[in-house]
Amino acid sequence: MKQIALVMVGFGNVGQAFARLLLRKKPVLAEKYGLEFIVTGIITGRHGGAINSGGINLTRALETIQRGQSLDILSEQPVPANVTDFIFSSSADAMLETSPVNHHTGQPAIDHIKAALNKGMHAITANKGPVVHGLAELNKIAAMRGKRFMYESTVMDGAPIFSLFRGPLPAADLQGFTGILNSCTNFILGLMEKGMSLEEAIGEGQKIGITETDPSADIDGWDAAIKVAALTSVLMDIPLKPQQVNRTGIREITPAMLQEAQQAGERWKLVCTVRREGQRLLEASVKPARVAPGSPLYSIEGTSSYVEFKLDVLPGLGIVEGNPGPDTTAYGMLADLLNVLRGQ
């Protein structure tokens, strides 16, 4: 049995889901892959951290954080307050990074990933910021250190998007893509079709935990724009920042507009589109659009998401992800980890 040590930066929805997944998959990881994972360090923003070279008891860590207590009580030694100091003082094979996204700079997650790679760890993140603001530099450091920088969960959570293009689509030329990449606005538009106002629909989303207290990143299209930028930067090798995406959110969409579309047999969706000609982008946009029943976007309901790739060899390759959330995101991170360890 090979033991793999992990450190976790961030222990919120996704970090906790990852810990639960590690506990649930422990038998299969041992039997099928001959791997035993231990978490030697966890650090958070306001809930302290823990270091234990023999492995933190994840069940206790989950109970502690759910009680709202600091993880410090689980630590065998004082935890550095500074996250990069914490990473440098940790001894692990890989870091799982799940700190909150910064759409504009990608920090501090970029620094966390640099520290982990420089310390000789693979770095796996669910945070989109480092992918669009630090991709080239992080890939360069990873290559220099003989480690990997992985980010499957940053777009469509656990659905295999980046790994699909790494493996099963050799020599395919991606010419464009279209899709619904923001779950929150798709859910809100669905409620507004039933007559709710934008504010009521946001309130409903907040009740079930899919809408942030400050919903502007979703409503104004930033989350969709950063995903567009991540897909374009990685899959097309055209560096694109979310600020460069032609972005319109859903604030101007009214229940009356939604009902009028429905009467005409159509629906409003927040649609992401990228088209290229060679290395020149013809379009990179996030904007509300009316879609007809013939479009695959029409039937994407609730929090589900969808992307359709236009490749020279496959003109319409579509992927739907139903009911995403922290658990599916955690799975994308585990898949990254296993793929790294298997050299894929």
Ligand X SMILES: NC(=O)c1ccc[n+]([C@@H]2O[C@H](COP(=O)([O-])OP(=O)(O)OC[C@H]3O[C@@H](n4cnc5c(N)ncnc54)[C@H](OP(=O)(O)O)[C@@H]3O)[C@@H](O)[C@H]2O)c1
Q: Which residue ranges make up the site for ligand X (CB under 6 A)? A: 9-15, 43-47, 83, 98-101, 108, 126-127, 153, 157, 325-326, 329
Q: How far is the CB of 229 from ligand X (least distance, A)?
A: 14
Q: How far is the CB of 266 from ligand X (least distance, A)?
A: 29
Distance CA 75, CA 65 (A): 14
Residue (66 or 263) nearer to ligand X, CB: 66
Residue (86 or 309) nearer to ligand X, CB: 86
Residue (88 or 262) nearer to ligand X, CB: 88
Residue, CB closest to ligand X? 12
Residue (4 or 83) nearer to ligand X, CB: 83
Q: How far is the CB of 275 from ligand X (least distance, A)?
A: 25
Q: How far is the CB of 332 from ligand X (least distance, A)?
A: 8
Residue (102 or 248) nearer to ligand X, CB: 102
Q: How far is the CB of 255 from ligand X (least distance, A)?
A: 27
Among 275, 289, 215, 279, smallest CA distance to 245 is for 275
Residue (227 or 276) nearer to ligand X, CB: 227
Q: How far is the CB of 77 from ligand X (least distance, A)?
A: 18
Among 130, 136, 104, 162, smallest CA distance to 9 is for 130
